[in-house]
Structure 1
Amino acid sequence: MASSAKKVLVPVANGTEPLEAVVMIYVLRRSGAEVTVASVEKQLQVDACHGVKFVADSLLSDCSDAVFDLIMLPGGLPGGETLKNCGVLENMVKKQDAEGRLNGAICCAPALALGSWGLLKGRKATCYPVFMEQLASCATAVESRVVIDGKIVTSRGPGTTLEFSVSLVEQLYGKEKANEAVERSLLRPNPGEDYTFIELNQTKWTFDGSTPQVILPIADGSEETEAVGLIDILRRAKAKVVVAAVGNSLEVVGSWKVKLVADVLLADAEILTYDLIVLPGGLVGAQTFASCGKLVNMLKKQAESNKPYGAICAPSALVLEPHGLLKGKKATTNPSFCEKLSDKSHIEYRVVVDGNLVTSRGPGTTMEFALAIIEKFFGREKGLEIAKATLL
């Protein structure tokens, strides 16, 4: 695979949309590409939108002479403006286009960057709805979730990123590899339709204060797409999300080598109470969660207090099940771990809410999972509002 690996560049800046960037990285790396995350700032750490912090692999200036098979631009503000105003990046993308190699852009980036650089003249493209008028001044604007015109691929926003990334996998590796990416990621079968989830033993979720207090633990080997997706979507709804590192360092290396920076260490966060404890997936991360006495005790106290808790992907089977936290409950998990659940009656559902428990399947179900949580705390109207804003 190393000899055939395609080289991909993902430039990031302060104010980049983290869900878009991380999903791109996840899909391309999982498909075998060699992805370089390059900061256009003067330092490697990037303060992305919604308070998400991550560390790039290199500075853009250090890889400006490299040749890439694909350069893909995430959106977000002011990140998109920073990408647009970066002369080094502009030159790289223009050279990429002139030499017939792939460029991709999503959200505001098609209009702000590709359009302003003159690369969309005479081409069809799409972008986030509020930038469509600007896009129409420099391209044939199309209201599609993903648009491919020659060697330029564009897309609309966070909720279309998975489809966008799979399209780029197909451009680089072919249809078979793209189909594998769809299956592995659990891509939503009905993009653009209202999200749904199954609910049993309906219980009203409440919270003290003006907004829910949520703790999201992360560890080395946590699935960064799920972690960032939850943080991003829940913070859009104004939930207070505390990202707590399980270990001795705030910097955590995810399962696909994205370096995330937590807000606090779990050891410093466990003394407080939370309206929700929610675990992201990732095999190694889940194993760390399962062996962390502090976290397991927090989860048990949460369940005993009839307060909400949940997990997506592996932790349902590897953390909640072995510690008795699924007893008498219906749950789902990643297909790879379904056999570890004692009750498999609901494993085919993408999101399952059973009383104060919420579980989900994997990266491609993350946004639906987060929206189900928002709906339980804030109501259906708020969930649909966030779904519309993110173009799920």
Structure 2
Amino acid sequence: MAALLRHLTPFTNLTPRLPSFTVLSSTTPRRFSLTTMASASRKVLVPIANGMEPLEAVITIDVLRRAGADVTVASVEPQLRVDACHGVKIVADALISDCVDTVFDLVSLPGGIPGATNLRDNDTLQNIVKKQASEGRLYAAVCASPAVALGSWGLLKGLKATCYPAFMEQLSSSATTVESRVQLDGQVITSRGPGTTMEYSVALVEQLFGKEKADEVSGPLLMRTKHDDQFIVTELNKVQWTCGSVPKVLVPIADGSEEMEAVIIIDVLRRAKAEVVVASVGDKLEILASRKVKLVADMLLDEAAKLSCDLIVLPGGLGGAQAFANSETVVNLLKKQIESDRYYGAICASPALVLEPHGLLKGKKATAFPAMCEKLSDKSEIESRVVVDGKLITSRGPGTSLEFSLAIVDKFLGHDKALEIAKAMLVV
């Protein structure tokens, strides 16, 4: 296999391409879900549970809301707040009991263990999904949930389905297993894991709204066009990144932060056993992200400012980036980070709206979200998906977040660790 991130080579692609998707369908997709819907807005239920994969839930919610879907995030726990894997905390919009009388055009289950088991064991959710199936509406699941939840409920009989590799044997007792990244069979869509969730979510958009809307949504995501183990990163002024026994990383978040970017960064770095502190720039721990996902920080930024971190990394999102730029604490932390010869990074809008105006890109090459690149004084690397310039790392947007995060792992912990995580997440 080609090396992942080991040979970091300059890359400039002057002609951006829309991603191509392989969504395997064993039957002709039944568009009844579109023709029988009275309202233009599609109602979607995303149930969440303790121990679920946060990346799978958040990407699905984010992408569907970009398409204009009316998404309800419902907790199957007794309370709204859910403690997902990797220490990510999410607050639901409602309890699952509040959703019993609502007709949904789609129900989509994230995975994770014990998250999938907690979804399976909730009788209210089981009844909702069984009714969804019996009435001919769309239902879907990713990662462990096709096998653990849908399969155990008897909702995959006679259908082709996929899931996380470790659960394929279990799935084989309730469905015809296939190894496609996203599988459509009739009214059911299944997918493999964290690294396939963005493709899965765009496939859900296509089933709800059609291909034109799916293409419209997928373009600005900046998704990868291939799924091999080649991640092309532009690296300039190469230096060895060092840390203590584990990297200590500060991830500020604010109202309007891009939830996909924030959660992917946190998720990947914690998988690598980095010590990640998520700090709210506001006056409370809970923030309302750009697509209205409610995330809960570990501490307020004023408290986090007392810590010494190897890396400070800013997620994007227009509102979040503006909040960072207006925060004297954030800007001072970044300036001290540079003065202390430590590492810093930003993705999406943040390189252009935070680093550039505060002089934190002086003498550096960087990239950013395409619509923001005009604000960069040096535009020579704006087409690159990830740029490392000495102790600075920048990237473009939601669809480059996994590469960005894996590049950070590679710089601190090496190629083998980055490849291990990429394989486990099914990024490659």
* TM-score bucket of the superposed structures, by smaller chain: over 0.9
> CA–CA distance in 1 between the matches of 2:232 and 2:145?
30
Change (3 A) 1:124 1:192: farther
Q: Of residues 185, 194, 198 in structure 1, which corresponds to 2:230?
A: 194
> CA–CA distance in 2 between the matches of 1:218 and 1:361?
18
C-alpha RMSD of matched pairs (Å): 1.0
Q: Are 2:76 and 1:76 aligned? A: no
> CA–CA distance in 2 between the matches of 1:328 and 1:266?
28
1:354 equivalent in structure 2? 389
| Equivalent position amino acid for 2:355 in 1 | L
1:62-73 residue pairs with structure 2 within 5 A? 62-73=98-109
- Unpaired runs of 5+ residues, structure 2, are 1-37
> CA–CA distance in 1 between the matches of 2:326 and 2:140?
41
Q: Are 2:50 and 1:14 aligned? A: yes
1:3 to partner: Cα distance? 5.0
Q: 1:228-257: per-residue Cα shift (whole Å, max 9, x none)?
A: 110001000000000000021001000100
> CA–CA distance in 1 between the matches of 2:191 and 2:72?
21
Tell me the SS of whatever aligns to 1:153: strand
More displaced, 30-39 or 135-144?
A: 135-144
Q: Of residues 353, 363, 386 in structure 2, which corresponds to 1:328?
A: 363
Q: Of residues 365, 376, 384 in structure 1, which corresponds to 2:419?
A: 384
> CA–CA distance in 1 between the matches of 2:213 and 2:83?
33
1:180 to partner: Cα distance? 1.0
> CA–CA distance in 1 between the matches of 2:309 and 2:375?
28
> CA–CA distance in 2 between the matches of 1:136 and 1:3?
37
Q: Are 2:239 and 1:203 aligned? A: yes
Tell me the SS of whatever aligns to 2:157: coil
Tell me the SS of whatever aligns to 1:82: helix
Q: 1:148-203: per-residue Cα shift (whole Å, max 9, x none)?
A: 00000000000000000000100000000010121021111112433331211111
2:87 equivalent in structure 1? 51
2:400 equivalent in structure 1? 365
2:354 equivalent in structure 1? 319
Percent identity between the two aligned chains = 67
Tell me the SS of whatever aligns to 2:100: coil
1:308 equivalent in structure 2? 343
Q: How many residues align?
A: 390
> CA–CA distance in 2 between the matches of 1:176 and 1:292?
39
Tell me the SS of whatever aligns to 2:231: coil
More displaced, 187-196 or 265-274?
A: 187-196
> CA–CA distance in 2 between the matches of 1:192 and 1:387?
10
Q: Of residues 124, 127, 130 in structure 2, which corresponds to 1:94?
A: 130
Q: Is the 8 A contact 1:122 1:140 kept in 2?
A: yes
- TM-score, normalised to structure 2, is 0.90
Tell me the SS of whatever aligns to 1:167: helix
Q: Are 2:151 and 1:151 aligned? A: no
| Equivalent position amino acid for 2:107 in 1 | I
- TM-score, normalised to structure 1, is 0.98
1:217 equivalent in structure 2? 252
2:5 equivalent in structure 1? none
Q: Are 2:145 and 1:109 aligned? A: yes
2:35 equivalent in structure 1? none
1:282 equivalent in structure 2? 317
| Equivalent position amino acid for 2:383 in 1 | E
If asked which structure has higher relative contact order (CA below 8 Å, sep 6+), I would say: 2
> CA–CA distance in 2 between the matches of 1:38 and 1:291?
33
Tell me the SS of whatever aligns to 2:86: helix
